[in-house]
């Protein structure tokens, strides 16, 4: 008998079947599936059906519950709670379509029974299988970790603690091939390579881990093009008047001795590609190392663009531009003049290189340290209409350094996760705005501080949605 663990399948039934063929699965083997069988890919129903059929045929398949199953289950129980929105838009809509239903409660009984029977974790010898992780800050992580944290993760992700003699095997957080391989020698092995992203060579594989020999098997995505791939393909096509292409893309790279020797951003045009001014939403990512910054120099910010695409479709596909940039690699310090430098960099270097150098209205989404920069821009620009922060820091500090232009016409929203550690920053920002009779909307969800947590729980998409709504209602 050989024991395997397989990472997040996400609607890729052909990829899943190909991986099983590649490892030459037999009825004597045992397979632990780490959750997230649905969403993102084209055939969620096919994946559940394949798992159920394998079990019926006598294969030892042991699945656990992921956060995407959790969201669907929440919708089945109560379609009117905060999670119900998820299954009426984005990936959830495609998932329901694969089952031939329009509402979660209409899901066929055999699939409901399968979903509700999924355990949160399993153990085999010294291995512990869980979708996200255990809370390693607890005295006994195995028994004291909350089920939602097993599926979504929390601040305990960041702990260096481990359980003596035990190894956690999980999916959930997308890791590059090299990071997956490095984790094999660690007390926490992570094998989600983002199969649905279809972005080789570092990402885009469904991964099987042979637990007995510590060997990895990679199966590239072979299902129909995921939504993200189709989106990016459209961006790279030449606009055609006959097709009325809805997306255009431009990579902007400039020499900038202040912002890390070189600075870059990605500019996208959504809607009719005809030239002309239109509103712009600027996403600013968190602080990263210089090596990571340079590694992104020629790449595309596909996770951000994909989330924006979902929000844009929900908003009725308005004519709008999106600008995506990272915090500069020197952004770790809040006291190094980076606010003014970044302000000048945007207005006088980046925007003039787009086809929309003077947008009539702007909105900003800032993630982590990017919220520090986004706040400064929002309060400094008269045309800024909205600010949404995600796991933000330094918002009130940045605002105090600006003239607070047109403050009464701006809208604000904070997205934070229950275990991301930004409560103090959020509260300081709330108090700052309240002292000026400005309200702050706060949306808290499960998860930690990691960027992927905010993708998984829909906060990034909804932050874009908030900005799109703010610009439309201006």
pLDDT higher than threshold 70 for residue 417: yes
Residue 380: pLDDT band by 50, 70, 90 thresholds?
Answer: very high
Which residues, 6+ apart, have CB-to-CB distance to 174 below 8 Å?
A: 192, 193, 194, 197, 203, 452
Residue 333 CB neighbour total at 10 angstroms: 10
> pLDDT tens for residues 353-367?
898 999 999 999 999
What pLDDT, on the 0 to 100 scale, is given for residue 236?
A: 40
Structure-block tokens of residue 53:
């059929």
Which residues, 6+ apart, have CB-to-CB distance to 410 below 8 Å?
A: 378, 379, 384, 385, 386, 387, 438
C-alpha Rg value of the chain to the nearest Å: 23
Over residues 415-440, the mean pLDDT reads: 89
Over residues 401-423, the mean pLDDT reads: 89
Does 267 or 331 have the greater pLDDT score?
A: 267
Over residues 176-193, the mean pLDDT reads: 92
Highest mean predicted confidence (pLDDT) among 2-16, 199-213, 341-355, 448-462: 2-16
Nearest-angstrom CA–CA distance, 111 and 46: 11
pLDDT higher than threshold 60 for residue 299: yes
> pLDDT tens for residues 66-93?
988 988 898 888 755 544 554 555 557 7
> pLDDT tens for residues 121-155?
999 999 999 998 888 888 899 999 889 889 987 64
pLDDT higher than threshold 70 for residue 177: yes
For the ranges 150-154, 220-224, 239-243, 310-314, which has the lowest average pLDDT? 239-243
pTM strictly above 0.85 = no
> pLDDT tens for residues 253-277?
887 555 556 788 999 999 877 767 8
Nearest-angstrom CA–CA distance, 82 and 84: 6
Output DSSP code: residue 297.
S
Over residues 427-451, the mean pLDDT reads: 88
Structure-block tokens of residue 289:
């190392």
Does 198 or 12 have the greater pLDDT score?
A: 12
Highest mean predicted confidence (pLDDT) among 16-20, 299-303, 326-330, 456-460: 16-20
Structure-block tokens of residue 461:
């998409």
pLDDT higher than threshold 50 for residue 238: no
Residue 424: pLDDT band by 50, 70, 90 thresholds?
Answer: confident
Over residues 241-252, the mean pLDDT reads: 63
Per DSSP, the chain holds a count of helices (H) and strands (E) of: 17, 17
Structure-block tokens of residue 246:
């809805």
Which residues, 6+ apart, have CB-to-CB distance to 391 below 8 Å?
A: 286, 367, 368, 371, 415, 416, 417, 420, 422, 449, 454
Domains in the chain with CATH codes: 3-220 (3.60.21.10), 227-472 (3.40.50.1820)
Query: 163's torsion region: left (phi>0), alpha (psi -120 to 50) or beta?
Result: beta
Give the pairing of strands 3-6 and 30-33.
parallel
- Find the helix packing angle between 302-314 and 227-236, rounded to 10°: 100
What pLDDT, on the 0 to 100 scale, is given for residue 98?
A: 92
Nearest-angstrom CA–CA distance, 187 and 167: 5
Percent of the chain residues past pLDDT 90, beyond the cut = 49
Residue 86: closest CA among 39, 34, 35: 39
Over residues 314-331, the mean pLDDT reads: 86
Structure-block tokens of residue 397:
């500090």
């Amino acid at each position: 008998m050989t024991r395997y663990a397989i990472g997040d399948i996400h609607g890729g039934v052909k990829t899943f079947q190909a991986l099983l063929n590649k490892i030459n699965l037999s009825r004597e083997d045992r397979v632990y599936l780490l959750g997230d069988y649905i969403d993102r890919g084209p055939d969620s129903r096919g994946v559940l059906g394949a798992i159920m059929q394998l079990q019926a045929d006598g294969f030892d398949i042991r699945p656990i519950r992921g956060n995407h199953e959790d969201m669907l289950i929440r919708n089945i129980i109560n379609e009117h709670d905060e999670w119900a929105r998820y299954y009426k838009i984005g990936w959830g809509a495609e998932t329901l379509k694969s089952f031939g239903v329009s509402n979660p409660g209409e899901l066929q009984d055999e699939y409901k029974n399968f979903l509700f029977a999924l355990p949160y974790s399993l153990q085999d010898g010294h291995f512990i299988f869980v979708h996200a992780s255990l809370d390693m800050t607890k005295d006994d992580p195995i028994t004291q970790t909350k089920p939602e944290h097993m599926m979504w993760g929390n601040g305990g992700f960041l702990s260096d603690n481990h359980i003596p003699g035990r190894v956690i095997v999980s999916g959930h957080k997308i890791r590059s091939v090299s990071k997956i391989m490095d984790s094999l020698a660690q007390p926490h092995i992570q094998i989600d390579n983002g199969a649905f992203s279809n972005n080789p060579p570092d990402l885009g594989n469904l991964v099987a881990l042979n637990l007995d020999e510590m060997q990895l098997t990679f199966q590239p995505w072979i299902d129909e093009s995921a939504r993200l791939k189709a989106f990016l393909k459209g961006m790279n096509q030449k606009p055609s008047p006959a097709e009325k292409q809805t997306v255009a893309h431009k990579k902007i790279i400039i020499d900038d001795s202040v912002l890390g020797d070189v600075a870059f951003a990605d500019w996208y045009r959504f809607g009719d590609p005809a030239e002309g001014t239109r509103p712009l939403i600027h996403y600013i990512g968190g602080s990263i190392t210089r090596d990571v910054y340079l590694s992104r120099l020629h790449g595309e910010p596909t996770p951000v663009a994909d989330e924006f695409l979902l929000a844009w479709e929900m908003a009725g596909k308005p004519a709008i531009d999106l600008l995506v940039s990272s915090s500069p690699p020197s952004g770790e310090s809040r006291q190094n003049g980076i606010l003014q430098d970044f302000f000048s960099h945007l207005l006088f270097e980046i925007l003039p290189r787009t086809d929309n150098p003077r947008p009539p209205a702007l909105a900003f989404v800032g993630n982590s340290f990017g919220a520090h920069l986004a706040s400064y821009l929002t309060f400094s620009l008269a045309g800024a209409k909205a600010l949404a922060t995600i796991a933000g820091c330094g918002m009130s500090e940045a605002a105090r350094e600006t003239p607070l232009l047109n403050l009464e016409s701006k809208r604000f929203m904070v997205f934070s996760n229950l275990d991301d550690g930004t409560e103090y920053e959020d509260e300081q920002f709330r108090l700052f705005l309240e002292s000026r009779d400005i309200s702050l909307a706060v949306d808290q969800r499960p998860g930690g501080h990691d960027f992927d947590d905010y993708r998984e729980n829909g906060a990034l998409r909804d932050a874009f949605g908030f900005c799109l709504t703010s610009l439309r209602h201006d």
